Structure 1
Amino acid sequence: MDGLRGRLTADAPLAPLVWFKTGGKADWLFEPADLEDLREFLFRIGGRTPVMPLGLGSNLIVRDGGVPGVVIRLGKAFATVEARRDKVLECGGGASGILVSSRARDAGIAGVEFMRGIPGTVGGFVRMNGGAYGREVADVLIDCDVVMPDGEFVTLPARDLEYTYRHSVLPEGAVVVAARFQGREGIPAEIGEEMDRIAAAREASQPLRTRTGGSTFKNPPGEKAWALVDAAGCRGLTLGGAQVSEKHTNFLINTGDATSADIEGLGEQVREKVYADSGISLEWEIQRVGRP
């Protein structure tokens, strides 16, 4: 750590940093001071140690045995959003979807209102092609800046990410530190109305005020995951302290004393029941990381 300005913590609890509030510790947690600090740190470990970026922890199950290697968490230095005159938004990898859409509204830039409905950071939803309400990152991403696990800095155009539904080809351990999104001319009041509509729709349909992880399963082609889960009789199903939400059946919730094993095990039970009922094998959308 000589000369580095970030904070390195051994055996760092991760449960407080993820929405489910469950899971084990990271072997190491590094919070870089800025881009150069991150690059130097990763250069020093030289790709020899597993690296996992962590954003808001909203779409993540951290298993109870913890996460091997180093977890990277981007702080305020990476949470910037700049609106350019050409209607491009320059965003740090740690900026939230709410911040991006709000800055765009204030600058009269339309086209990214859907990010108001993505519970995560730019780094996470660039990696996973995050989306909501009919739009996704692939529709607006120009390019992104990435630090590879060995410290190499690269700028990748959107086409190189080979986006599909909730997936990109970014390698494991690559940290998205910035991205540029193309918007269009808009009227702030109208943009704000659309953001308010999205926020109200989320509040009405999703269990936002619980310990949850967002959408659990990907929507199969031509189907809705929640409808398949509901039809299989899984609404309200429990395992230990985990429960299938009765408000939105594509959400799992921690009722208070769940372990990550409860949550993941319940998800697998749901997958089995849906397959038995419909013949469709649901794919996890929530990332599951770490040791059992």
Structure 2
Amino acid sequence: MAPPPAVLSSGELGARGHTRPHVVFVPSAGMGHLLQFFRFIGALSAHDVDISVITVFPTVSAAEADHFAALFRDYPSVRRLDFDLLPFDASEFPGGDPFLLRWEALRRSLHLLGPVIAGVTPRVTATVTDVTLVSHVNPIAKDLGIQCHVLYVSSAAMMSLASYFPIYLDNKDAGADVGDVDIPGVRRLKRSWLPQPLLDLNKLFTKQFIENGREMVKTDGVLINTFDALEPVALAALRDGKVVRGFPPVFAVGPHSSLASEATKGAAAEAEGSPMAWLRQQPARSVVYVAFGSRFGNWDAFCANANW
């Protein structure tokens, strides 16, 4: 995996004598999001770059706290920047999904992030944010005069929907329901393929999705956990500006490798006869892997459909 080049700014001198970039990562909640951030950070740490990670308190679960601890143990050169959430009254969204509420709590606290980033030494060159937070992180980065990239943890096909959906809404009849979405250069998506929350514009998820989709096109680049051979059509449509005119540079940076601690656990599991050990005994191209997702099943079902 080759990470994208970063614009050099003031900071510490790297091993080759140039000024070393300093990247601050702003992850979100949910293991599906965090693990991909941590794996990308692990890969980037092998390059001549300073890395800091925003670590939010309180953590949403013991599992997330354990994975943060493992990241900093495996990669001691990575800095942690502690960030305390403001109190959040979840009663505003009765029956809301805990992770959507967590994303909203993060978004409502991010106006405090600017001073944290501005006070880091060496001076920060760029931020890399989760897509769920980009509507708030990108304006902060622009105010500080630094780059902002999105690390997108789903597919390029899903990225095309996320970036085009606000345009689709702007162009449809105001009173009409959400219907099929014809993404330029990618394909026409049947209404039944869409994540169900997108069919209700009053849903918290949908409001976040639309705000982040609008802001994503204003960033300096998008890093997607995919590769060109898997999604050539969707990646080409994004890069050629067919989906959204003037879309930022798109880097396919997948698949992410495991962290050091994950690789160690994986080796131990295989030795004990795990499903991975069974998989390695099967003939090539004889097994089909289907992932329905942990929370948004339709989201992953769409990705499977769109990756034809």
**TM-score (ref. length: structure 1):** 0.32
Structure (1 or 2) with the greater strand fraction: 1
